[in-house]
């Protein structure tokens, strides 16, 4: 069973879809973009013909060729009356937070997939998955912990994945990686008449902020940095 979810709602939807996969019924799955609609359907409906709702002719062709059709981007279908779902197993995937009653009447079953904001447990589950994926891709062996403030679920799984990959990568850069990043950045932004001062802050601001977070005291920090306390205070005033 497909279980990349801790949500009871998702499990029930999956079970219901599984129950109907051999029947000649039409189901509509809707919800915000990137909440896992397509991946759930693809687990069960691999054999169906997949078409996009952008092109009515493609849908019609698929319906003529097979009784098992998955229509993605259903929100882009322009003419509902044009589609005859009788005697077919249809799964329509719609990227929309709500649906019209006309659309609802077209289908035997309607499923709403909640956003990640409504699935706190799933955020934890997917974060764990993506951290492991990112570690494999970036060849990282040690444990990586992600700050909750670095997690972005504004665009559901899409933004969650990218924020976690980014966070894993940033937490595991070595000196040469940072050098390369800075080199590329400077190389692409070498314009103006005050470049030294402008670009120095990229380095200095991060160095001072991290030091203050660790040592909490300017006196201690000036010792560690090996600079005069007054110089440190001046730099903090300038940069932070």
Structure tokens at 41: 């359907």
Q: Specify burial of residue 154 (Cβ count, 10 A radius: 0-12, 13-18, 19+).
A: exposed
C-beta separation of 137 from 131 below 8 A? no
- Least distance to other proteins from the beta carbon of 32, Å? 17
Runs of H (alpha helix) within the chain: 8-19, 37-44, 56-65, 101-106, 120-137, 156-170, 175-188, 195-215, 218-225, 229-239
End-to-end CA distance of the chain: 52
Residue 2 or 215 with smaller CB distance to other proteins: 2
- Least distance to other proteins from the beta carbon of 100, Å? 14
- Least distance to other proteins from the beta carbon of 130, Å? 27
Q: How many CA atoms lie within 13 A of 43 on its CB side?
A: 13
Residue 7 or 222 with smaller CB distance to other proteins: 7
Structure tokens at 2: 């497909």
Residue 19 or 230 with smaller CB distance to other proteins: 19
Residue 87 or 98 with smaller CB distance to other proteins: 87
DSSP 3-state assignment of 93? Answer: strand
Residue 85 or 130 with smaller CB distance to other proteins: 85
Q: What phi, psi does 29 have (nearest 5°)?
A: -115, 120
- Least distance to other proteins from the beta carbon of 19, Å? 5
Which residues here bind other proteins, judged by CB under 8 A? 9, 12-13, 15-16, 19-20, 23-26, 85-87, 105, 107-112
Residue 43 or 155 with smaller CB distance to other proteins: 43
- Least distance to other proteins from the beta carbon of 109, Å? 6
- Least distance to other proteins from the beta carbon of 123, Å? 20
């Amino acid at each position: 069973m497909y279980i990349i979810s801790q949500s009871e709602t998702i499990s029930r939807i999956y079970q219901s879809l599984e129950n109907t996969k051999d029947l000649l019924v039409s189901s509509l799955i809707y919800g915000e973009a990137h909440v896992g609609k397509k991946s759930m359907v693809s687990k069960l409906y691999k054999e169906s013909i997949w078409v996009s709702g952008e092109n009515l002719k493609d849908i019609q062709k698929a319906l003529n060729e097979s009784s098992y059709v998955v229509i993605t981007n259903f929100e882009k279908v322009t003419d509902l009356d044009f589609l005859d779902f009788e005697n077919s197993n249809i799964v329509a995937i719609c990227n929309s937070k709500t649906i019209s009653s006309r659309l609802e009447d077209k289908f035997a079953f309607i499923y709403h997939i909640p956003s990640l904001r409504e699935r706190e447990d799933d955020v934890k589950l997917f974060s764990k998955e993506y951290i492991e994926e990112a570690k494999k891709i970036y060849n990282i062996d040690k444990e990586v912990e992600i700050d909750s403030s670095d997690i972005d679920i504004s665009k559901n799984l899409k933004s969650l994945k990218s924020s976690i990959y980014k966070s894993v990568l940033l937490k595991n850069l070595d000196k040469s990686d940072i050098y390369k990043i800075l080199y590329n950045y400077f190389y692409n932004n070498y314009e103006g008449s005050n470049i030294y001062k402008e670009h120095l802050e990229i380095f200095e601001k991060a160095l001072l902020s991290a030091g203050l977070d660790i040592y909490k005291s300017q006196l201690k920090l000036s010792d560690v940095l090996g600079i005069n306390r007054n110089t440190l205070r001046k730099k903090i005033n300038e940069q932070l």
